[in-house]
Chains A and B, each alone.
Chain A
């Protein structure tokens, strides 16, 4: 049998018409999205499907089934009701006898429970009961009074025992409790302190040592947190860029500190942060805020973040009034979606809008005679470049505006004792740089207190439009040589590829009911290939972190 083939011929349309159509579709779709979000916010109960209410769902379902039952079934139902009523009467008498004694709920305090018995708000499960039983089935007690408000304000967190026959007769399948989360998630405010030291070393003779201390208070139940950190970067460099300008090896110290906080006002969570970073030739002050909205029973979370960074860029030998200024406005828009019981994902757009002085004041660009650049291969040594270049050596100059965009997708999947994390980022900016970054991390629980993870990251990018491996002087009408308007020696604006391999280990030294102590060690090793740059064609780097984390 022949299947008729329908061919739809689409008339050719010009680009403007297609773009116009796309705009209409996008605008309409956006309007629909806003409408859906508006309905969800304004009438959350109405927007929730009927199946969200197990009581209503069960009662309507029961009624429908009851109408279809046969006389025999009705008879057995009546007998079941009699048995149930008798059981309820018996239960009432038993409760009356025990009324003078404290119940299990009163006796079992959280502090007396073993760690494994302390229920997490997410892990509390109502035990199954017989259908039609009038006796409420006690649920596990909250671990402390601090958890109580959350249970009151978030009734959906716990199905109320005894109110739904279906909920009792069809007990929910509880996911395996996470090995680490039960001990990491605490009720009430928890203080955490972290001390870490990081070291960086690369084949371009740059080394960085960074001790960091951070501390904070977090109340998972009330939904607020405050955090602070302070770090010192001790940078020592004798890179090829420094050598090429005949500058001496230098060492510099950077201080950076920041505070952040967040608070939840269901369904909205607000956050704010501020960071200041100071070094002899650079001052950076950043402030920002975040907003996230929990929708569809926290299965869908759109979020928005904004930050502004104000920088002053100078040289150590220049008075501050001669420094350049730069500012960066960043906007982030994302959506987190619960995809299944074991998978969560998010999609995010980042926009970064830089204005001001975007070059490096120490960077100078070698200039070659007209027509000579093609003879300078990638990876030409400092000595060879100095031999061939013109005596004229201008400072770096790049456009004073840069709009950068990134679209990223993040996925996390939890198996019984492992987590797979995948991250993908597409990047483009108006300087012409296009990049693709992929990251994979596989975290697995070796033992109860031991996590290991391998880590792989790959980054590939193209060059900025004004990138040249070797810039040529431009001959003027009078024979004088000019310089290109835009020139850079920043290899990160050229084509490159980075592969980073690493891993980490987290060892639990102690865990609740006492204080929690963790020891974390991470190591990354990477290779960067510069396919079209002077001086170096590859760079190897190593980075490691040793941290001690404590939660009280």
Chain B
């Protein structure tokens, strides 16, 4: 199994398993989740993110996460 296949299978596996571990929170239980530092987007500013991208031979994995807080 190649690395690509491994990554693909791992992703699918987690996608399938994750809903089972998902908490069903009410809006009034999201006080902590609504904090700005809890938004899963990349916390690094564009500058540092650019530096990391240039210095590291790897890309991806940053600034992607959307949603979750359910604020609005």
Contact = CB atoms under 8 A, between A and B. Distances in A.
Nearest to A221: B72
Contacts of A350: 59-61, 64
B61 to A, nearest CB: 3
Interface residues of B, number: 60
A435 B56 contact: yes
A396 to B, nearest CB: 15
A324 interface: no
A299 B23 contact: yes
Given A338-B33, A428-B3, A492 B67 contact: no
Given A404-B60, A428-B7, A122 B34 contact: yes
Contact of A185 (B18, B34, B37, B55): B34
Given A156-B27, A173-B29, A181-B35, A290 B66 contact: yes
A421 B66 CA distance: 15
B44 to A, nearest CB: 8
A231 interface: yes
Interface string B31-68: 11111111010010111100110111111111011111
A408 B61 contact: yes
A426 interface: yes
A522 B66 CA distance: 24
B32 A337 contact: no
Contact of A352 (B5, B38, B59): B59
A35 B17 CA distance: 14
Given A338-B22, A346-B65, A184 B36 contact: yes
B61 A348 contact: yes
Contacts of B12: 26, 29-30, 33
Contacts of B1: 15, 18-19, 22
A217 interface: no
Contacts, number: 290
Contacts of A352: 59-60
A175 interface: yes
B58 A303 contact: no
A212 B47 CA distance: 9
B22 A522 contact: no
Interface stretch (A63-71, A80-88, A240-248, A328-336): A328-336
Contacts of B13: 26, 29
Contacts of B48: 522, 524, 543, 545
A226 interface: no
Contact of A341 (B33, B40, B46, B57): B33
A122 B60 contact: no
Which of B12, B16, B38, B69 lies at the interface centre, i.e. has the most chain A CB atoms within 10 A of its CB?
B38
A433 B24 CA distance: 40
A419 B70 contact: no
B67 A522 contact: no
Contact of A298 (B11, B45, B59, B68): B68
Contacts of B16: 29-30, 32-33
B24 A419 contact: no
Contacts of A342: 32-33
Interface string A389-424: 000000000000001111110101010000101010
Contact of A336 (B14, B28, B65, B72): B65
B29 A172 contact: yes
From B32, B52, B54, residue with most partner A Cβ within 10 Å:
B32
B36 A180 contact: yes
Contacts of B52: 457, 459, 500
A319 B22 CA distance: 56
Given A159-B28, A332-B64, A346-B40, A407 B7 contact: yes
Given A157-B27, A350-B61, A178 B34 contact: yes
A459 B4 CA distance: 20
Nearest to B32: A414
Scoring A200, A403, A405 by chain B CB atoms within 10 A of each residue's CB, the highest score goes to A405
A123 B31 contact: yes
Given A292-B67, A297-B70, A492-B55, A338 B23 contact: yes
Nearest to B35: A178
Contacts of A124: 28
Nearest to B19: A300
B38 A125 contact: no
Contacts of B59: 350, 352, 404, 406, 427
A224 to B, nearest CB: 10
Contacts of B47: 196, 198, 200, 210, 212, 543, 545
B35 A419 contact: yes
Interface string A424-452: 01111010011101000101000000010
Contact of B35 (A292, A300, A347, A414): A414
Nearest to A200: B51
Contacts of A496: 57
Contacts of A212: 46-47
17 contacts: A26-B9, A32-B16, A122-B70, A179-B35, A220-B71, A264-B72, A337-B68, A339-B21, A341-B29, A347-B14, A405-B4, A414-B38, A419-B35, A427-B61, A428-B3, A435-B56, A543-B47
- What 5 pairs across the A-B complex have the smallest Cβ distances? A350-B60, A298-B70, A301-B67, A175-B31, A406-B60
